Structure 1
């Protein structure tokens, strides 16, 4: 082999060796490994740090005064949503992500092993939906059956995309009965796509539900409630992160704080509206109140069996429609953390 070709080949071989030796997880060889079935350590060693992508919880902890009480260091990453979180996980630039129920599924399907360590929902979820189906001006959709033949915004790997497939199943339709238009579900993309009639239907959430009808209702824009639970909120981590005893212990401490922060937000709506929606997000107090009312009271279960069963239903629908392997939902959850959040709430109210 010519020298000019040999040197690049050796460089690639050396890089592959170094990557393999390091394990690709940012941990040094010889560090202790916590087995998946081992009890979580009781304390967090000094010098431990977590990189956490959960901007709303950061603000909630600041407002509640708990942000300076952790026994470890936190670097807060301004990251949210499944795609960005998975990208950060792969770059070894994030330890904990906050998402809905779809990103852990999609991450596993794309070769990124992850575990869910916390689960939160909304009490009375049908009265407090996360999303409604936005209907473009002039499009006649009043029931789910009317979705047949329509162009529907679709974001694979995100909660909105999974909701579309679940809605179609509920309506007795498949993706072949509609036209799925792939669009990123970020910022105002979906409302604008509806207004411009790029799509006929799109799941829109949060303040966009109110704003969409307010802005385009005069042109005939409407929304339709889908009648399904769409409220899962999870903390998840890379499986390899939980092999680090120090980080596994720190994650338990953060899960407890995350639960208390969720309850604090519900118990202090005025402070949350002013401190987060107005000062941090730049919304009006009126929009903040709308979002607080929309979210309702949090529900943090101590038993994940019903949670896993619902997650399995979603996985089965996604697997059927996407051609991916049907995962076992239980494999996505680290049951060592099952009662951590609920216990934190119970202790805080006792």
Structure 2
């Protein structure tokens, strides 16, 4: 699979080599931007382009000339990325869209100027020999899920489709990898999975997907702390362009990207290929009304399950979170 890259993209993204990014035609840096010493961002196995970007060192190459270092922090899930953002431990972090909305609704000062993927990264998983066949069968059962993440919110939305709520199951709060282990060891009846752990469990342990719904998988949001976006807009633009370089490289080299994911996440190449080639869409990087509407459709679960304060205007929170304008001049077909 090869992706055509036009001349403008090639120049803007510096795709003629794997060195630093091309110079940007951006406004003159502010005093705050000139004082920047470090850019802190996360990488995650659920965001393959972050792994590609980190592997090739394109951000390091770009910022080195300005004396700015790049610090990478591993996020094991959206909940961890959001904790790091809220604690000012990172400036830019990758999460699921609905998880970012929940965090913003509860006071996290973040904004989303870039979409790193549209994945089908979660489903409800059971053991291969499980007697559970439908969502209704989950009533009264132990289900593992990581709170504050897309799999957890996916679980709640799925339950609502058959008239069940969070209180109708026994929720076991475990980080994603631990949830997989608990399922395979028989300590829980089901698990709200996350790739690549989910794909590895399917291919390695023979687990099966009890319930899938791609529309309940919210997009991959690249979130920036409000303060960093205001003080360092040029740095954020440079990070977005680097992500674009990684996205286009991944589209043109999916097998090589899968190999990077395999090595970083320590999963087999077939597992990584399943995640990248069959379950991840990298075609919509610019935040748009599509993403706004997807969040608005998902938002009622946050109110129904009392995950936000009563009276919270979630439509306004969506508008405050999804920045459809910041990257518009950077990302064009």
Q: What is the TM-score normalised by the length of structure 2? A: 0.76
Q: Which whole-Å CA distance do the structure 2 matches of 1:46 and 1:101 have between them?
A: 31
- CA 1:340 to 1:191, structure 2 compared with 1: closer, same or farther past 3 Å? farther
- Rate the CA distance shift 1:338–1:281 in 2: closer, same or farther, 3 A: same
Query: Deviation at 1:87?
Result: 3.0
Change (3 A) 1:43 1:316: farther
Change (3 A) 1:97 1:74: farther
Higher alpha-carbon deviation: 317-326 or 332-341? 332-341
After TM superposition, list the pairs within 5 Å mapping 1:164-243 onto structure 2. 164-176=155-167, 178-187=168-177, 189-217=178-206, 221-229=207-215, 230-243=217-230
Measure how far apart 1:151 and its partner are.
2.6
Deviation at residue 321 of structure 1 after TM alignment: 0.7
In the superposition, relative to structure 1, how do residues 148 and 119 fare at CA in structure 2: closer, same or farther (>3 Å)? same
Q: 1:279 to 1:43 in 2, by over 3 A?
A: farther
CA positional deviation for 1:140:
2.5
Q: Let me know the Cα RMSD of the aligned residues.
A: 2.9
C-alpha distance in structure 2 between counterparts of 1:140 and 1:258, whole Å: 43
C-alpha contact (below 8 Å) 2:106/2:308 kept by paired residues? no
The aligned runs of 1:72-83 (5 Å cut-off) are: 73-80=68-75, 81-83=77-79
**Aligned 8 A contact 1:143 1:224 in 2:** yes
Partner residue in 2 for 1:262: 247
- 276, 288, 291: which one aligns with 1:304: 288
- 1:66 match: 58
Query: Contact 2:51–2:261 at 8 Å: present in 1 too?
Result: no
Instruction: Kindly report which structure 2 residues correspond to 1:48-63, keeping only aligned pairs within 5 A, or say none.
Output: 48=36, 49-54=38-43, 56-57=48-49, 59-61=51-53
**Residue 280 (1) aligns with residue 276 (2):** no
Q: Shift in Å at residue 163 of structure 1?
A: 0.6
In structure 2, do the counterparts of structure 1 residues 102 and 182 end up closer, same or farther at CA, with 3 Å as the change threshold?
farther
**Aligned: 1:141 with 2:156:** no
Aligned partners of 1:152 and 1:200 also within 8 Å: yes
Deviation, structure 1 residue 114: 1.4
**Normalising by the residue count of structure 1, what TM-score does the alignment of the two structures yield?**
0.72
Which stretch shifts more, 332-341 or 99-108?
332-341
Unaligned runs of 5+ in 2: 1-25
Q: State how 1:20-31 maps to structure 2 within 5 Å.
A: none
> Could you list the runs of 5+ residues in structure 1 that have no partner in the other structure?
1-40
State the shift of 1:310 in Å: 1.2
Structure-1 residue corresponding to 2:149: 158
Mark the CA change 1:284 to 1:182 in structure 2 (over 3 Å): closer, same or farther: closer
Q: Separation in 2 of the partners of 1:332 and 1:211?
A: 33
Query: Aligned-pair distance for 1:317?
Result: 1.0
State the secondary structure of the residue aligned to 1:53: strand
Q: Aligned partners of 2:152, 2:221: CA distance in 1, in Å? A: 17
Q: How has the CA–CA distance of structure 1 residues 208 and 63 changed in structure 2, closer, same or farther, with 3 Å as cutoff?
A: closer
Q: Secondary structure at the match of 2:89?
A: coil
The Cα shift of 1:96 comes to 0.6
Q: 1:137, 1:195 within 8 Å by CA — same for their partners in 2? A: no
Where 1:92 maps in the other structure, the secondary structure is coil
